């Protein structure tokens, strides 16, 4: 067993020991703290809001410590709220029928069809086979990152990382074989370029998620909370405009940091082009299922972005745009694309269609949908009981009474990043989102900039293997020493918040208000 494997084993054992302690403390400590909060007199809020505050403390701490699965915790909140008389059952579980749920559901089914039918691999290999890539290690580095980022804008970052991982391993094998032919033996676990390539894969998978509302759960959570708590609707097209800017900035930052820290020591990787060509040959010709999947995907995307173009042509307040939004909101567009997959035939005589229900079921992240619904439910109940207004005033007061928008955005972005490094970024966004919206409203600011900042910051978990599934996947390769992941992650996290999230959020202020 080499040094990298020993290090990985020690780190894993330390993580497991920490997780056991964290879960045990949370399991018993959170209910005790919730009861203390309930029995502490707070005259400024109603009894219902006081009960909900105690429930929120329990849910938030269990989201962080995970003594039970996070989706189960998301159901505990609304269940306890009904059982303790905070709200009626219809109000508590109304959020689980939010249209955003069906936008996510349709996106999951489309993504599963792309993976099942090999459309994602075909796209990734298409980028890697471009003439400008060739055998140049730096351009291969760039192409791998581009393929991962663009795929993860539509497919889950975990699935994208799982797809790109073997591609990277194959390219690194080509490097090792090239050195062997030239009489040089290398250990990939100690080879800088191998570390950089793996990190670029993981980082790009997370970075690509900011591109679209369905790219990563924090995006939709913040959009859903804005719609529910502030009556502000952000369209798919609007988010993609901001997401494209953020993705490009994040990507360029990660590319520069990683190429500087982990440069290649050769000008050409012999065998890289042959490897890609062989993989493309394995894919064969386009199948009917792939063509059907591409058609359904294009239909959904066209319906998602059409309002942006209608707004440009006819104006943002035109009757044409209002009619379109009423007939084809984002959730309906997603469902149209997903439902086409069950209607477009692959072999009609055998009644075979593009995707089966069993395949679709395997691709739906039910836990994410439940967590999303639970977060929206807690936000709605906080708003309905007046708890959110009290918390918002408390936060504003703690910031000096009249915090600047820059200070507020910075504080919540950093909070989002820190929590996302340590726990699920979806749970972190669920916790911070309602607080940020109410604090912004209490301070007299538009909640949109801080919400966008939180969503973008939640995608900046690059320091630890536990921060994101892509990090964990590439760390398992043994090619990434923990110290190097932390060092690279610190650079991207800190510079990412300072140079991208906050300036983008400030720009949104003038964009929306103006």
Instruction: Quick: pLDDT tens for 166-214.
Output: 888 888 877 777 777 666 666 666 678 888 888 999 999 999 988 988 8
Supply the mean pLDDT for the chain: 84
Do 17 and 31 belong together in one domain? yes
pLDDT reported for residue 50: 93
Q: How far is CA 133 from the centre of its chain?
A: 28
Collapsing DSSP states into helix, strand and coil, what is residue 267? Answer: coil
Residue 125 forms part of a structural domain: no
Task: Decide if pLDDT at 448 tops 60.
Answer: yes
Residue 468 forms part of a structural domain: no
Do 111 and 71 belong together in one domain? no
Tokens of 430: 């669920």
Domain span at residue 98 reads 94-117+287-375
Do 86 and 9 belong together in one domain? yes
Pick from 514, 513, 500: which is nearest to 244 by CA? 500
CA distance 451 to 361: 31
Query: Which residue among 375, 409, 444 closes a domain?
Result: 375
Residue 160 forms part of a structural domain: no
pLDDT reported for residue 419: 82
pLDDT reported for residue 186: 62
CA distance 447 to 227: 11
| Number of domains the chain is built from | 2
CA distance 330 to 207: 22
Query: Which residue among 36, 57, 92 closes a domain?
Result: 92
Do 88 and 98 belong together in one domain? no
pLDDT reported for residue 343: 94
The structure's pTM equals 0.82
Do 369 and 291 belong together in one domain? yes
Collapsing DSSP states into helix, strand and coil, what is residue 200? Answer: helix
Q: Are 35 and 53 in contact (CB under 8 A)?
A: no
Do 35 and 83 belong together in one domain? yes
Tokens of 158: 């975990």
Residue 318 forms part of a structural domain: yes
Band of the pLDDT at 18, cuts 50, 70, 90? confident
Residue 222 forms part of a structural domain: no
Do 3 and 82 belong together in one domain? yes
Q: Say how many C-beta atoms besides its own lie within 10 A of residue 488's C-beta.
A: 24
Tokens of 403: 């915090």
Do 98 and 88 belong together in one domain? no
pLDDT digits (tens, 9 = 90+) for 93-128: 988 988 888 988 888 899 889 888 888 888 888 888
Average pLDDT over residues 376-404: 81
Do 39 and 112 belong together in one domain? no
CA dist 188 to 143, 254, 260, 436, Å? 20, 21, 18, 44
Do 85 and 100 belong together in one domain? no
| Helix residue ranges, H only, 318-447 | 319-327, 330-343, 357-363, 366-385, 387-398, 405-422, 425-442
CA distance 275 to 280: 9
Residue 501 forms part of a structural domain: no
pLDDT reported for residue 493: 86
Do 37 and 102 belong together in one domain? no
Residue 385 forms part of a structural domain: no
Task: Write out the DSSP string of 21-61.
Answer: HHHHHHHHHHHHHHHHHHHS--TTS-HHHHHHHHHHHHHHH
CA distance 73 to 71: 5
Do 99 and 29 belong together in one domain? no
pLDDT reported for residue 229: 84
pLDDT reported for residue 262: 87
Residue 70 forms part of a structural domain: yes
């Amino acid at each position: 067993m080499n040094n990298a494997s020993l290090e990985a084993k020690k780190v894993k054992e330390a993580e497991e020991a920490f997780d056991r302690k964290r879960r045990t403390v949370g399991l018993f400590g959170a209910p005790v703290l919730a009861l203390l909060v309930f029995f502490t007199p707070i005259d400024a809020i109603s009894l219902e809001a006081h009960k909900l505050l105690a429930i929120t403390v329990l849910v938030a701490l269990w989201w962080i410590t995970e003594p039970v699965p996070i989706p189960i915790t998301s159901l505990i909140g609304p269940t306890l709220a009904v059982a303790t008389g905070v709200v009626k059952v219809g109000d508590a579980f109304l959020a689980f029928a939010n249209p955003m749920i069906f936008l996510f559901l349709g996106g999951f089914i489309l993504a599963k069809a792309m993976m099942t039918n090999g459309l994602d691999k075909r796209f990734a290999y298409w980028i890697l086979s471009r003439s400008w890539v060739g055998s140049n290690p730096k351009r291969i580095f760039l192409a791998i990152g581009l393929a991962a980022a663009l795929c993860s804008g539509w497919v889950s970052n975990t699935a994208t990382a799982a797809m790109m991982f073997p591609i990277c391993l194959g390219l690194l094998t080509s490097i090792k074989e090239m050195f062997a032919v030239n009489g040089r033996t290398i250990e990939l676990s100690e080879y800088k370029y191998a570390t950089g390539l793996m990190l670029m894969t993981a980082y790009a998978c997370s970075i690509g998620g900011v591109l679209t509302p369905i790219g990563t759960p924090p995006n939709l959570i913040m959009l859903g909370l804005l719609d529910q708590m502030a009556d502000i609707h952000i369209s798919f097209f609007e988010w993609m405009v901001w997401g494209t800017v953020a993705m490009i900035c994040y990507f360029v930052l990660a590319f520069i940091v990683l190429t500087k820290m982990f440069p290649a020591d050769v000008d050409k990787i012999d065998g890289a082009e042959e490897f890609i060509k062989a993989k493309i040959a394995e894919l064969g010709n386009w199948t009917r299922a792939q063509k059907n999947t591409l058609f359904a995907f294009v239909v959904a995307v066209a319906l998602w972005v059409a309002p942006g173009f209608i707004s440009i042509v006819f104006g943002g307040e035109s009757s044409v745009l209002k009619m379109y939004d009423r007939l084809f909101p984002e959730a309906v567009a997603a469902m149209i694309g997903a439902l086409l997959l069950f209607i477009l035939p692959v072999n009609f005589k055998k009644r075979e269609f593009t995707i089966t229900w069993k395949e679709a079921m395997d691709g739906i992240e039910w836990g994410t949908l439940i967590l999303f619904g639970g977060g929206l439910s807690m936000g709605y109940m906080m708003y309905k009981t007046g708890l959110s207004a009290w918390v918002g005033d408390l936060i504003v007061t703690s910031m000096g009474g009249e915090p600047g928008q820059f200070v507020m955005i910075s504080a919540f972005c950093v909070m989002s990043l820190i929590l996302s490094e340590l726990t699920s970024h979806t749970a972190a966004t669920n916790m911070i989102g309602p607080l940020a919206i109410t604090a912004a409203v209490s301070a007299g600011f538009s909640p949109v900039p801080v919400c966008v900042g939180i969503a973008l910051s939640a995608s900046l978990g690059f320091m630890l293997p536990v921060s994101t599934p892509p990090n964990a996947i590439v760390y398992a390769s043994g090619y990434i020493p923990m110290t190097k992941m932390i060092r690279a992650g610190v650079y991207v996290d800190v510079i990412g918040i300072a140079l991208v999230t906050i300036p983008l959020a400030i720009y949104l202020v003038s964009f929306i208000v103006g």
